[in-house]
Chains A and B, each alone.
Chain A
Amino acid sequence: MTWEEILPLLGPATLETAQMVGWSTLFTLLFGLPLGVALVVFDRDGLRPVPGLRAALGFVVNIGRSLPFIVLMIAIIPFTRLVVGTTIGTAAFVVPLTVGAVPFYARLVETALREVGTDVVQAAQAMGASRTTIVRKVLLPEALPGLVAGLTVTVVALIGYSAMAGTLGGGGLGDLAVRYGYQRFETLLMIVTVVLLIVIVQLLQSLGDLIARRLSHK
């Protein structure tokens, strides 16, 4: 393949990857953040200990974390069909990507929130702050650099997952690599895809690091 043939393929594939990763990042944040907060708040030494609920949430998160993404993707096909009405195409793969990334990010959120010192939480309690205020004005702001760093790791993982989604009809750069690089031995396209992925991941990681550093006042 020549450059003239490769370039028109790269554009749409990159866009598809960006769409899959973008939307699933958004939904991961939407569900993963509250789940991570719940894991900390309902813990035995948390703000509102509900050990039974905490154990159940932990169990569900562990199930999500124990399935390899490619298995999870296939296993939840009925659920995907229920949510978006189809199981192929970029939109359909936002569902398994989100389901795969939510427990991952929730654990990172949990770790970041646990880094917040018990002394500041107790200081807020001593000031008469309610639990909601403590979560909103102490835990989340204090853990923000860690939450951003965790989200960066999650986005990079999602790019990896999205390549697997490509093999099952999700489109994107993974799909390109499989169809041209693997099935047609197009070495140049394979190299271009690899370089493009490396550049994207490096840029995202650097951006994430920069934001996390800016937010940190330690």
Chain B
Amino acid sequence: MIQASGLRKQYGTTVALDGVDLHVREGEIFGVLGRSGAGKSTLLRCVNLLERPTAGTVTVAGQDLTALGSAELNRARQRIGMIHQHFALLSSRTVAGNVAFPLEVMGVPKAERERRVAELLELVGLGGRGKDRPHQLSGGQKQRVGIARALAGNPAVLLSDEATSALDPATTESILALLKRLNAELGLTILLITHEMNVVKSVCDSVAIMAGGRIEESGAIADLIRTPGSRLTREIFPLPAPAPAGSVTLTFTGDPRQPVVSEVLRKFDVDLSILGGSIEELPAGPVGRLRVTLDGADRPAALAYLRDSGLIVEEAA
């Protein structure tokens, strides 16, 4: 749905994007994770060409945006919704007026506009609040208005620029739940950028980890979790890095309740002690990670057994 190839963005001598390729599939929630200054905001703004990349192309819904003139680009942008960290609502307009704005831009007639605005406010859980002013709303409600506004043009794609970063944890949860619902009900493809691993963990199907203007790792979360040594796995689980010498880190991608550890202890002559571990609920299913020391005569056989049981076994040097 979104395909970016060879994106470079330079400001003077500063390189914000250093050759980024991004592929977001239709109907998925794709997260770009990185610290501030990693280039993720620039990347997002290159997708709807708020920033024109120095080199590279951006294709959204089969249309190469980098090839369009300004009038055609504006028409293409009407099919790409965007929500913002600080909501970016017009204080001169009511809630309904804000949601109506993109419809006015598209030239939708007034009666049709009013019908659609009421429908959109209902969709985001703000039915009846149309006459309020943005300053009368809480942060979470403001973002709901932002989401309703972004959906006005029936977009195929929603871009989210740190949409939950200005919100408290409970409100963040409710906004993420709303995004997930819209993704499921409307088949909306969502590309979001965030610095919070929590956002990626709770809603994303795929992720790209960015640093220094490059994508360090990207792919479906379910696949990355199964890839030994992946950055994502290391960052999701709160185990101290680097792993102590001689320790073994086990990743459970199936049912974390499978009793492989006790089986190993019963079958092999090994001693095992647990250094740390946790289980995370991801959209792809629960994933557990356990760091242990495993000593004894049967250590190689025990490790082989664990691998055969479907666990990812990483031995620290």
Contact = CB atoms under 8 A, between A and B. Distances in A.
25 contacts: A119-B84, A120-B89, A122-B50, A122-B84, A122-B88, A124-B105, A125-B77, A126-B48, A126-B80, A127-B78, A127-B102, A128-B73, A128-B105, A128-B106, A129-B74, A129-B105, A130-B74, A133-B104, A133-B105, A137-B104, A141-B92, A142-B90, A144-B92, A217-B91, A218-B135
Interface of A: 117, 119-120, 122-130, 133, 137-138, 141-142, 144, 215-218
Contact of B75 (A122, A128, A217): A128
Given A127-B101, A128-B105, A137-B101, A120 B90 contact: yes
B46 to A, nearest CB: 12
B70 to A, nearest CB: 8
The bracket for how many chain B residues form the interface is 20 to 34
B78 A125 contact: no
Nearest to B88: A123
A119 B153 CA distance: 20
A128 B76 contact: yes
A150 to B, nearest CB: 16
Nearest first, the 9 A-B pairs at minimum CB distance are: A128-B77, A123-B88, A141-B92, A128-B74, A128-B78, A126-B82, A119-B88, A127-B102, A129-B105
A127 B88 contact: no
B91 A218 contact: yes
B93 interface: yes
B50 A126 contact: yes
B71 to A, nearest CB: 8
Contacts of A126: 48, 50, 77, 80, 82, 159
A127 B105 contact: yes
Nearest to B72: A128
A81 B153 CA distance: 56
Interface string B105-140: 110000000000000000000000000011100000
B50 A125 contact: yes
